[in-house]
Each structure stands twice: as C-alpha cells, then as structure tokens.
Chain A
Amino acid sequence: MKTKTLARTVLCTLALLVTGCTGRPGNQVSKVYRIGIVTPLTGEVQDLGKEMLAAAQLAVGEANAANPGMHFELIPRDDQGSAASAALVARSIVQDPSAIALIAAGTSAVAKGLIEAVKGSGIAVLTSTATASDLTGSGAPLFRVIPPNSAQAASLAMYAHKLGVRTAAIIFEQDDYSVDLKEAFKRSFTQQGGAIIGEAPFEPDETAFRSQLNQLANVKPGVILAAAQHVPVARILIRAREMGISQPILAGETAFTDKLLAALGKADPGQFFLTGSGMDLEHPSARVSSFLQAFEAKSGKRPGMYGCYTYDAVSLVTHLAAKSVGIDRQHLITALQELKGYDGVTGLIAFEAGGNVAREYTIYAVRDGGFQPLSAGAQGKSDKQ
C-alpha cells in the first residue's frame, strides 16, 4: 500500500513537472521569423554595409523586445559588392522556409542580380539602397523604402522649375547611379519645358573638375545638376564656388549625408539644393530621436541615410509580421502591397503600384553646417511605374 502510494505520488509529481515545463507561456517555443539581409560586409564599402547591418540588428532587437511571443532573427550575408555573390547567398536564404523577407542593402547592380536569383521563390524583397529607375517592374515583388532615382530627379526638376530656371547643365560621374539620375533629370526637366544645354562626364578618380566646370560655365546654365556620390559633389561645390560659378547646384540623395558636411568643412557651398528623406535631423521627432539615440548607443556613431532606410525596411517587416501571427511569404507581400502607411524614421511608408515608396520628397539646403529642409511641396512622382 505504502509502495503504491509512493509510486502514485512520484508519478503525479513527474506529471506536474512535465506539464509545468511545457505549459507556462514564458517558456513557449516561439515561431521564428527570419529576415535575410544581403549587404557588403567586405570590400570598399564595408563600413556602409556594417552600418546597415547594425541598423537591421537594432530593428530586430526592438521587435523581439516588443513581441515576447515571437522571435525574429536576421540572416546576414555578404554580397562582396558582386551581383553573382548576392545571387548565391540570396538563393541560400530563400531555401530556409522560415525566411519571410529579404533585404537587399547593396548597389542597384547587385540588387538586380539578387532579384533575378529569387524571382519565383515568392519572397518579398525590400531594398534600402537600390535606386536604379529600371528596377521598377523588374518582375519580382520588390518594395523600395528609398525613393528611386527617377523620383529624386523629378523632385529636383520641379524645384529647379520653382526657382524659375529654364536651362540646366549636368556634371555627372561615370557610374550607374549617376548616369541614371542624369537621364531621369533630363526627362523630367524637359517635360516641364526646360532645356539641357550642357553635359560633362567625369571619371571616378577626378579631383580637379576644372575642365568640366569651365565647359558648363561657358554655356551659362540656369542651374547645374551634380549627379554623383557625396565626395565628388563636395569637390564640385568647392571648385565651382572657387571658380566664381554662382548658379544653383542640385544633387541627389546620396549627397544627403553628414559625410558631405564633414567634407565641405567651412567651405560655403552657396546655393546648393538636394533631395532628402524627409528626416528633420535638426528638429527630430520623438520617434527619430529614439532611433538615433539607440543607434548611437549600439554603434557609437550616428546612422547615415542608408542605415535609416535599412532600419525602416526591417522594422516594417517585423511590424507586419507581429500584426499577423503566422504570416508567411505570400501574406507578407499582400500586406506590403496593401500598406496604408507605416511611420518609419525616414517618413511615412506606403507603396505605389510598382513597389516604390509613395512619399513627398523634401528639398534641403546646406546652411550653418547642417541640412535645412525648405518649404514642402517639391513632390516628385516616379515617371517609371
């Protein structure tokens, strides 16, 4: 009798223990949602890639903290600055059934290779960096949180029109981004009745710019577009003002970075206008401040533009996944397509039919060592849907 009682007691205790181990909510096995991020972690722009990875990690960390019943993980992969490498790692990511989205955080050329590789896999590709106009309608479920070049160019052309100028000249770097921005600006500017009266290409290692600026100055344009990365834009500004060229100079969003301000130093850029994300870094909102502080605490420095966009891309995915527990790839795509508006740090995010972010683009000027948003209204729509 005593033996039977003892046995029953032990069995009941064991049963309770087993039930207790599996029954408590805090120890429930969470569904894991994985987000792939393909970015340059080695090579010339590895600093940028690592910044974007840090932003993505911050977003995932915050999502995990905010959603205890779910677990988000990143699958970071190095694209090595190559479309072929990006395609290879992207294919490996989509083979993981728990991977619900892929973040393409490299150049447009790399993004094209990645998209081509994952077409048909049914995974949503979000990009925080690829701005090539021809990515729109690439045949994959692509969602851009960063405005494409065509939209940036449209904003700049509209602003030039607002300045009252009817002629423009373009100085552009011989790379994919700059050429795309140049062509998009030419389309938009001429559509609004303006005329492009001069073009001057330059090589990536150009530093003097005298020949090109002499050529453009001689045709006396109303405005000059500097289609280039932030360092050449800074060089062009310094040289142009030194040569007495006083026309307004425009630039795209790649120049919207603290690195441009650092490169300019105390040099006065004169009338210089560029498109920006809409983030008011001088008077940040609570949301933006919180992000900036968290990023700086994690990484020891302020995020650049691409870090902000990457944070928004990952946060958007985790936000939509948290809203629909058990979401799969197809439902995520539908949710992205039907998104009415997500309050990201770079602004309100919703997508047009082609997957480009639908947003008013702010024009900035550089004043007092910082970017100052000018009056809103320079709204640019992509001319390639």
Chain B
Amino acid sequence: MHELSLAQNVVEILCEEATRHGLSQVTGYKLRVGQLRGVVPDLLRTCLDLAGRGTVAEQAEVELEVIAGHAHCGCGEEFSVSELLFLCPRCGRPGAEITSGQELRLVEIEGD
C-alpha cells in the first residue's frame, strides 16, 4: 500500500507547481514509473484519485508511463530485466547495474 503515500507526494508536488505557474486547476499530468519499483499502476490510479480530492488536481487525468527495466553487466552485456532477482544472461553473475526501471518521476503538468 505504499501507492497511497506515493500518491500523496504526487498531489503535493502538483499543488506546488500549480501555485508556482499560476494554474487554478491541473487538467492532466504525466508520471514515469519504473517497472522495478513494485508499484501497481491501477492501485496508484485509485490512490491518486483519492489523494487529489479537494485539491487543484481533483479533475486531473493522469498518464502513467511504465519504464521497462534494463541492466548493464561488468562483462559488457546489456539486457532487460523485469524483476530485481536476476543474473547476467551472458556470464551468469549477479550484481549488474540497473540502468532503467527505478524511476518515480513527475515529468509534465497541464492546467488552466
């Protein structure tokens, strides 16, 4: 259920940005969520809806972009990963550096 905490943080940032840019309402925004962060997109949507009530973001449409996981191994191999428990498909070793899939970012806001 950390989706609710994440949603509350998103709404706080939306309210701050709305004030900063003189928006009386936020009509839409875009989130990038890494596949490896254990966020359930549908649950996050529900929580965003709850957290946004009574704020400038009450009517906002959210666009969720899920970012696929990738890793780079010391042996040079680049490969995609869908979870945090993985071994390099080429050399079989653990510990490859995760290069994407851990994002939790607000990247765009639309409003009036």
* A-B complex is real: no
